[in-house]
Chain A
Amino acid sequence: MDFKFTEDEEAFRRKVHQWLKHEIPQRWTELDPGIWEETEESWALAREFQRKLGQKGWIAPAYPKEYGGLELSHMKRLILSEELAYNRTPMSIEEEITVNWVGPSIMLFGTEKQKKEYLTRIARGDVIFCLGYSEPNAGSDLASLQTRAVEVGDEYVINGQKTWCSYGHLADYCWLAARTDPDAPRHEGISIFIVDMKTPGITVRPLINILNRHSFNEVFFDDVHIPRENLVGQKNKGWYQLVIALDLERSSIGYAAGNQRIIEELIKYVKETTRNGEPLANDCLTRNELAQLVVENEVARMMAYRIAWMFSKGLHPSYESSMSMVFVSEVMRRTANAGMRILGHYGELDRDSKWSVMNSRIMRMCLSSLSIGVGGGSNEIQRNIIAIRGLGLPRR
């Protein structure tokens, strides 16, 4: 057992940290968009920055070199993710989906042509995919999705409705799950497609999120014709591909690292704040609350480290990732709540007020953290996975 990073890994961390310190644009820091707070301006800044990151090979460091990756070790990828999140690097949630779900799926199931066409561009930060998974009646029960893809000659024709497509209005492609055999058992008739978002017949309608921002969309497909070669992997085997992709490396280390930063800011705040004529840092309830956040975040960090370590040993975590995800999502919500208690009235203020503290991060986190235990498999679904896959409890 050894909990330290090697000298080489520490040097890599310093290198990433230094680079980010110099390269993150001032304007981005001013805009300070948290998760689900993208605007068109911040999106453009993030895209531009991602291309810079891509030049360093740091967008998809795991990819083979021939596809623009660095074949970086799991531990260095862990460090990179930690630094990117801690330093609030310009990026959006779709980056994660594109790089960690779509890319690896193409690598595993795609044709040579698809690999050539997409992987390098993903690694360079040139393209962004949105997910076309959820539908109005297919949320947690994703396998009940109804969007149809019918093979007609050299094409597939798609009809149906997707929802919760984050940044679907800005993405280049949609990674779409559609039903190709309506008569087969529900897990046997789903296929995965790449759909260019500029294809005629696609209508994108905004859903305004709880932070009053346009991040999600409903996407309607009306007789959308796509080339047959945009099928990824085997027809009707999409469900299994999708499940494997969900298990691909998905370390929640970014969340823990981002949360770490918030906790540090809260600590700084209580040191600088006087309440009832006393430094807030002397208040024992506040100290207790902050200490508990530090404890929980350390547990979350160790859970995420464990995932990276398992990968580095050639093991394949599945329920362990669910544990890590559920845990950190709840730590983030508790951090937001504890932050609100500590800041009191000041925690309520939005950013346009001259009175706002910590750039209203706690108030925004109070809202944004509601999504973390819901999107990408709700915490209830994750707990089912832990119980059934991890502990072997019966389904029926």
Chain B
Amino acid sequence: MDLGLSEEQEMLKKSARDFLQRECPKKLVRQLDESDEGYSSELWRKMAELGWMGLAFPEEYGGSGRNFLDLAILLEEMGYNIVPGPFFSTVVLGGLTILTAGNEEQKMRFLPKIARGEMILSLALTEPTASYDAASVNTKAIARNGEYVIKGTKLFVLNANVADYILCVARTRKTKDPEDGITVFLVDARSPGLKCTLLKTLARDKQCEVVFDDVTVLEKSIVGKRDEGWPIVKAILQKAAVAKCAEMVGGAQAALDRAVNYAKERVQFGRPIGSFQAIQHYCANMAMDVGGSRFVTYKAAWRVSEDLPAALDAAIAKAWVSEAYGRVALSAHQIFGAIGFTMDHDIHLYYRQAKAAEIIFGGADFHRAIVARELGL
């Protein structure tokens, strides 16, 4: 057993932290949060030059041949700094899905472009029910003359507003089993009939409503097999939950670091507030939450990386980290007091990140339900 990072991983972590501190200051984060696009093409290009987009792709597809665990470590640093943009949707939701479920032609067509930073992807899964179960997939794709016509409304679609392609999860057949008859399509975001509207959200994270109004796609844009798309979606969700945990661990660590630094400097009653036991205990609890989150996340990421069954560990991680990050961000606000309640201060960026991350890919209750199922309950 080895719970430490390898030398390569340490290097990745450190270079990511340095790069982001330099290239993605909070001023830029705020600008992007307030913009409609939500990402900086310059930063995007630089990240691609560092090989981040293709980090977990094999070299034959233009990647660096590293694994999911390495990607998780990079995401931890991206969470630490907060990096607005479509990295998560492009690489985790889009790229990894094509890598594991796509055919050779799709891989060759999409992955090198993603790796070079030339393509942005998005995943259109959730619908107005806002949940992650198969029965909620009601968007229809009807076969017609060797093509498919997609009709339906997708909600909470991350970064669809800037995506070149959207992975659309649609129903191609309705049977008694809701998991049967689901198909994943790669849809050109400029297709006629596709309409994307930006939603205004708490974390200002560019979630969209995407309406497919008779959008026509070719049969070859199916990822995997027709009607057998649900296992692909399940696999995406599992990876996405773990990857999101990694991002949250980074965010929680940043919120803790900031709160601790402030507690050391802020003087009241003639002494730093960090010398008061009430504040110290908040910080101790935050440190426990961060430490605990990190190791359950690494364990789940390691299992995904090693291709071992990871359903239980992924659910444990998302169930725990979702709530732990929320507690950490809340305590950070309490320590910052009034100053944290201003737009000018940075800590709310973490609080917002925590809230959005808690909900996406299922919150704690959703994942506890999976844990219970995995335990045979």
Q: Contact residues of A with B, CB < 8 Å? A: 1-5, 75, 267, 270-271, 281, 284, 287-288, 290-292, 294-296, 298-300, 302-303, 305-306, 309, 312-313, 319-320, 323, 326-327, 380, 382-384, 386-388, 390-396
Contact = CB atoms under 8 A, between A and B. Distances in A.
Given A303-B291, A303-B295, 20 more contacts: A1-B6, A1-B298, A1-B302, A3-B298, A284-B369, A287-B369, A291-B319, A298-B320, A306-B291, A313-B4, A323-B288, A323-B291, A380-B277, A380-B281, A390-B284, A392-B264, A393-B272, A393-B275, A394-B264, A395-B275
Contacts, number: 146
Given A295-B316, A309-B3, A393-B263, A302 B372 contact: no
B38 to A, nearest CB: 32
Interface in B309-340: 313, 316, 319-320
B316 A288 contact: no
A336 B5 CA distance: 36
Contacts of B263: 393
Contacts of A287: 368-369, 372, 377
Nearest to A394: B275
A296 B316 CA distance: 8
25 contacts: A4-B1, A267-B375, A270-B377, A271-B377, A288-B372, A290-B372, A291-B371, A295-B319, A296-B320, A299-B292, A299-B293, A299-B296, A302-B295, A303-B295, A305-B1, A309-B3, A320-B291, A326-B284, A386-B283, A391-B284, A393-B260, A393-B264, A393-B275, A394-B275, A396-B275
Interface string B332-376: 000000000000000000000000000000000100110110011
Contacts of B313: 298
Given A2-B1, A323-B287, A294 B274 contact: no
Contacts of B6: 1
A292 B319 contact: yes
A294 B312 CA distance: 10
Contacts of A386: 283-284, 287-288
Contacts of B277: 380, 384
A298 B316 contact: yes
Nearest to B292: A299
Nearest to B299: A3
User: Taking each of B303, B320, B375, which has the highest tally of chain A beta carbons within 10 Å of its own beta carbon?
Assistant: B375
A62 B299 CA distance: 27
B2 interface: yes
Given A305-B3, A393-B260, A292 B368 contact: yes
A5 B1 contact: yes
Interface in B51-73: 69
B48 to A, nearest CB: 26
A267 B292 CA distance: 24
Contacts of A327: 288, 292
A383 B284 contact: yes
B292 A302 contact: yes
A262 to B, nearest CB: 14
